[in-house]
Amino acid sequence: MSHDSGNINDFGMDTISLAGPLEAKLQAVREAGFSQIMLAARDLAGHPGGVDAAVAAVRASGLRVTGFQVLRDFEGLSGHLHDYKIDIAKSMLSLCHQLGCRVLLICSSTSVHATGDSQALVKDLRKLAMLAIPMNIRIAYEALSWGRTVNEFPQAWELICEADMPNLGLGFDSFHMFATKTPLAELDLLDPRKIFLVQLADFMWTEIKSVEERIATARHFRVFPGEGVHSEALAALVMKLHGLGYRGDYSFEVFNDDYQQMPLATVAERARRSALWLGEDVLRRSVPLPNQIRLKQARGYAR
């Protein structure tokens, strides 16, 4: 069967799972049959040919950019720290815009310099969303499980609702939900139209005992969905999101030191197996979606 036979169009890889230069990552992801990729700012900033060359490579790859990451420790600062972070946010937004990417990921602040006052956090999130409006960018706010004030998605959701901006929504990462053992039922709170990105990852142990271990696991020991010990929980999560009406993208947010020293094609193949498992076994999409059939036929006629 060709790669195109799988129904994995709403799943994508993330450049952070792969070693090597941007072009090699793009090619590996494409050849594994994916149609989208999540990019990090350093993919552009660190490109030897500069940002323009990186943007050109992404466009030439034909891959859609799922989202752009990541703005850190943004909300809750004041004075010159706030001004500094606004500058950083503007740079991130500009890069995101150059890529033609519609989603900027921001994760909840870990900074000890940030206030926990929810009104201040809401004000900053509103300001960030406003900065993003002229560029047609949506802000996906994610609860990092070691965030200082916001570390579970219901807290992030509460701020998003209070901020009430059309382009501010939730970035949801399964790792953090599992790490904090947030009950699945909490998802019922969410409005699926305001979930702007879902990131999925598994890991190899059932229990995370400390915050330090949580950070280390998140940054070095994640695996693709289906490869770890939380397969059932991931399947339940994806089914739950689907049942809520979520029809957006799923991106594999897999930080893994071993994958960083494996051939790109091997890692991408693992991601592909994961996507097929989720798409076909979990969501049971054994045939292409009707819309995709139509598009493929149209393309066929054009040739």
Q: How far is the CB of 86 from other proteins (least distance, A)?
A: 9
Taking the least distance from each CB to other proteins, the nearer of 162 and 213 is 162
Taking the least distance from each CB to other proteins, the nearer of 49 and 100 is 100
Q: What is the DSSP string of 134-155?
A: GGT-EEEEE--TT-SS--SHHH
Taking the least distance from each CB to other proteins, the nearer of 117 and 212 is 117
Binds other proteins (CB under 8 A): choice among 78, 91, 136, 266: 136
Six token digits for residue 237: 């999560």
Strand partners, 104: 68, 139
Q: How far is the CB of 166 from other proteins (least distance, A)?
A: 4
Binds other proteins (CB under 8 A): choice among 72, 127, 194, 285: 127
Binds other proteins (CB under 8 A): choice among 24, 40, 131, 265: 131
295 touches other proteins (CB under 8 A): no
CA distance 202 to 205: 9
126 touches other proteins (CB under 8 A): yes
165 touches other proteins (CB under 8 A): yes
216 touches other proteins (CB under 8 A): no
Binding map of other proteins across residues 232-271, x = CB under 8 A, - = no contact: ----------------------------------------
**CA dist 5 to 1, 121, 295, Å?**
7, 45, 14
Taking the least distance from each CB to other proteins, the nearer of 31 and 158 is 158
118 touches other proteins (CB under 8 A): yes
**Cβ contacts of residue 189 below 8 Å, gap of 6+?**
154, 157
Q: What is the DSSP pairing of strand 138-142 with strand 168-173?
A: parallel
Stretch in the footprint of other proteins (CB under 8 A) among 10-18, 35-43, 60-68, 119-127:
119-127
**Cβ contacts of residue 118 below 8 Å, gap of 6+?**
158, 159, 162
CA distance 131 to 112: 25
Which has the closest alpha carbon to 92: 52, 45, 49, 127? 45
Stretch in the footprint of other proteins (CB under 8 A) among 13-21, 149-157, 159-167, 230-238:
159-167
**Cβ contacts of residue 137 below 8 Å, gap of 6+?**
93, 96, 97, 101, 102, 103, 104, 167
Residues 66-105, interacting with other proteins (CB under 8 A): 90, 100
Binds other proteins (CB under 8 A): choice among 58, 114, 129, 275: 129
Six token digits for residue 231: 């397969």
Is the separation of the CB atoms in 136 and 76 below 8 Å? no
Stretch in the footprint of other proteins (CB under 8 A) among 107-115, 132-140, 198-206, 227-235:
132-140
Angle at CA of residue 212, ends 207 and 215, nearest 5°: 80
Q: How far is the CB of 139 from other proteins (least distance, A)?
A: 11
Instruction: List contacts with other proteins (CB under 8 A).
Output: 90, 100, 117-119, 126-131, 133-134, 136, 165-167
